[in-house]
Amino acid sequence: MGNIIVDVMPPSYWQDFERLTLDYARKVWQDDYAERNGRQGQEQAGVDVYGYNYKQSEQTGIQCKKRTWKTKPGADAPSNTLSVAEIDAEIEAAKDFTPSLERFIISTTGPRDADLQKHVRNLNQSNTDFLVTLIFWEDYVEFLNENPEFMYKYYENVLKYRNTYSADEHYYRLLSMAFDRPAIRTPFHLENRATDFISALSATQEAIATGCLKDRSDKVIDQARVPNRKPKELKEAADKLQTAREISTEALSVGKIVEHSTTIEILDKSIISKLNKLRFESVKQLNIVLNTMGLPEVSIATQ
């Protein structure tokens, strides 16, 4: 993306702002299972996005506050911003969230505000329930520029307009996201459900074949044009995933893998090494392609 930050406007719809905030949380907190809390109209105890921040070791909740810019960021006329009263009200609401939070974040598409930051610093001196943090739109812009895969996901048209868009790069960044999921990164014996593992492998294969990336609920996350000529390494990666699917499906059908409510029992330990080897080899093939494109590799646990 270069060293100059690409300026982008906040999303037009609150749903997109929540989606972006969820991606922010999963990436920054290193929590693949961070999730949106409830739906519009339901009681949410002041929390829109919830998860565990593994970097800070904190149970964390985010309240999203979308604001409308009157002008571009950096111009003289500011947007509607948060108020001290709003912050205090959201903090009170978040105290009822279950499980108890260790950090509560209020994120806004409004501009950075020194008075609000000072107010929160003062609150943190006396608030014994949890720490409070503010995230402003400038912080989102920095995040998007530091993580181009999300710039491609949310601001593809901006990149096209600035003549920096690459359809091939979009596709390979989408594949990087497809492979960067627990089913592939995490050793098989740590899986919770074999059927989820098989579904994730299938979704990754679909991303390679069609350029369409879906989540666990089968909702489309991102789409990109498939290159006319895909590198042979991608076929090899897809073949490895197919073999892993066949092995795990067969093991389930004959009782070598037994699913319980939250864990799996693997009666044939040789399956573990086979599946771990296959997922490692599939990522290795993808990383060859990513290296050729000058893109970051997907990391994977070997044990």
Per-residue pLDDT of 246-300, as tens digits, reads 999 999 999 999 988 778 888 998 999 999 999 999 999 999 999 999 999 998 8
pTM (2 d.p.): 0.68
DSSP state of 263: -
The pLDDT value given to residue 133: 97
The pLDDT value given to residue 119: 95
- Domain boundary, last residue among 90, 123, 149: 149
The pLDDT value given to residue 104: 97
The pLDDT value given to residue 303: 57
Question: What SS3 state is found at 231?
Answer: coil
* The length of the chain, given as a count of residues: 303
For 230-253, letters b (16+ CB in 10 Å) and e give: bbebbebbbebbebbbebbeebbe
Query: Is the domain of 115 the same as that of 227?
Result: no
Query: Is the domain of 273 the same as that of 172?
Result: yes
* Token pair 């111009």 in the structure block, residue: 75
Query: Is the domain of 128 the same as that of 237?
Result: no
Query: Is the domain of 145 the same as that of 24?
Result: yes
- Domain boundary, last residue among 116, 149, 182: 149
Structure tokens at 264: 């799996």
User: pLDDT, tens digit, for every residue of 79-91?
Assistant: 457 889 999 999 9
Report how far Cα 186 is from the mean position of its chain's Cα atoms: 16
Query: Is the domain of 192 the same as that of 143?
Result: no
From CA 251, how far away is CA 47, in angstroms rounded? 41
Q: How far apart are the first and last CA of the chain?
A: 34
User: What percentage of the chain's residues is helix, strand, coil (to nearest 5)?
Assistant: 50, 15, 40
Query: Is the domain of 184 the same as that of 86?
Result: no
Question: What SS3 state is found at 292?
Answer: helix
The pLDDT value given to residue 90: 94
Q: Are 24 and 140 in contact (CB under 8 A)?
A: yes
User: Is residue 2 included in any domain, yes or no?
Assistant: no
Domain count, the chain: 2
How many other CB atoms are there within 10 angstroms of residue 57's CB atom?
8
- Domain boundary, last residue among 95, 121, 149: 149
Query: Is the domain of 188 the same as that of 77?
Result: no
User: Is residue 138 included in any domain, yes or no?
Assistant: yes
The pLDDT value given to residue 170: 93
Instruction: Residue 115: give its domain's CATH number.
Output: 3.40.1350
Full residue range of the structural domain in which residue 53 is found: 14-149
From CA 259, how far away is CA 221, in angstroms rounded? 28
Query: Is the domain of 21 the same as that of 130?
Result: yes
Low-confidence ranges of the chain (pLDDT < 50): 1-2, 71-79
User: Is residue 300 included in any domain, yes or no?
Assistant: no
Query: Is the domain of 142 the same as that of 179?
Result: no
The pLDDT value given to residue 53: 97
The pLDDT value given to residue 221: 86
Query: Is the domain of 139 the same as that of 238?
Result: no
Query: Is the domain of 174 the same as that of 284?
Result: yes
Query: Is the domain of 38 the same as that of 72?
Result: yes
From CA 257, how far away is CA 120, in angstroms rounded? 51
The pLDDT value given to residue 78: 40
